[in-house]
Amino acid sequence: MARAVSNREKTVTTIVAWTLGILMFFPILWIAILSLKTEVDAIRGPIEVLTSGWTTESYGAVQARSDYFKHFTNSVVIALGSTLLGLLIAVPAAWAMAFVPAKRTKNVLMWMLSTKMLPPVGVLIPIYLIFRDTGLLDTRTGLVIVLMLINLPIIIWMLYTYFREIPGEILEAARMDGASLRKEVLYVLTPMAVPGIASTVLLNVILAWNEAFWTLNLTASKAAPLTAFIASYSSPEGLFYAKLSAASVMAIAPILIIGWFSQKQLVRGLTFGAVK
């Protein structure tokens, strides 16, 4: 629909929308500004903050705390590890449900989703105890497993919706051409589904990166990712605004960028395809 809208109307909309947009974004903008101030300037009033000098010393200070990179690495390993492991299990499952649907396929899918509805706190204690007894507490392996299981239904669901858009005839052609099942999935399905797989990976990296129930409850120091590292700033003696800001900016920046790229897939993944 190409409809002429008066410029006045468009101007008003633009001003209102930009104002609201900047207000929503303001907290993020503000910590970006504070992160570039000295600790003394960072706790002053907004005018003073904006007029004071700029410095990157907080970034230096946060990185100088040798454990920052440990936490950052933990976050990367846990987010990527859980997503890739999940993919390995989800691709075959989604293939089966999308291309060899049976009467029960729909029920299996729904059941998989229903596991996602289980409140984590309901199973916190047994998982905590199992982890304690098997030595998985405060290990990256443990978190990779838990986050993989948490996100597995979403991964399967997203892949399923993408796979369903691939015509089955192409896979049959591969079968006629003499491809084994493994080759069919490897050489034909996977390359065709690359865009879908990529968005699935992005969304799940975001979810795993920001997960803050299991990461806080199952780690102490060794395997603690950024969520837990930032939480350690909540103690009153740790009130260093500039450093907290710098640490926060570094923790959210990668995901903010990934997130902006995957807005569309976000809707599909988070609503399980109920809204397209």
Of 1-60, which residues contact another protein (CB under 8 A)? 1, 5, 10, 13-14, 16-18, 20-22, 24-25, 27-28, 30-31, 34, 43-46
Task: Give, as ranges, the residues between 58 and 97 that touch another protein (CB under 8 A).
Answer: 89-90, 92-93, 95-97
Per CB under 8 A, does 165 bind another protein?
no
The secondary structure of residue 224, as a DSSP letter, is -
Per CB under 8 A, does 109 bind another protein?
yes
Near another protein by CB under 8 A: residue from 53, 64, 66, 119: 119
Distance CA 64, CA 59 (A): 8
Q: Which of 217, 253, 180, 224 is nearest to 28 (CA)?
A: 253
Is the Cβ–Cβ distance between 97 and 108 less than 8 Å? yes
Q: How far is the CB of 216 from another protein (least distance, A)?
A: 6
User: What are the φ and ψ backbone dihedral angles of 3, each rounded to 5 degrees?
Assistant: -125, 130
Q: How far is the CB of 71 from another protein (least distance, A)?
A: 12
Cα end-to-end distance, the chain, whole Å: 20
Is the Cβ–Cβ distance between 99 and 159 less than 8 Å? no
- For 163, other C-beta atoms within 10 Å of its C-beta total 22
Near another protein by CB under 8 A: residue from 118, 135, 186, 222: 118
Per CB under 8 A, does 110 bind another protein?
yes
Near another protein by CB under 8 A: residue from 54, 69, 73, 170: 170
Q: Which of 274, 271, 275 is nearest to 116 (CA)?
A: 271
x/- contact string, 218-237, with another protein (CB under 8 A)?
Answer: --------xxx-xx-xx---
Q: How far is the CB of 11 from another protein (least distance, A)?
A: 8
**Which of 53-61, 64-72, 105-113, 136-144 is the region at the interface with another protein (rule: CB under 8 A)?**
105-113
User: What are the φ and ψ backbone dihedral angles of 225, each rounded to 5 degrees?
Assistant: -85, -170
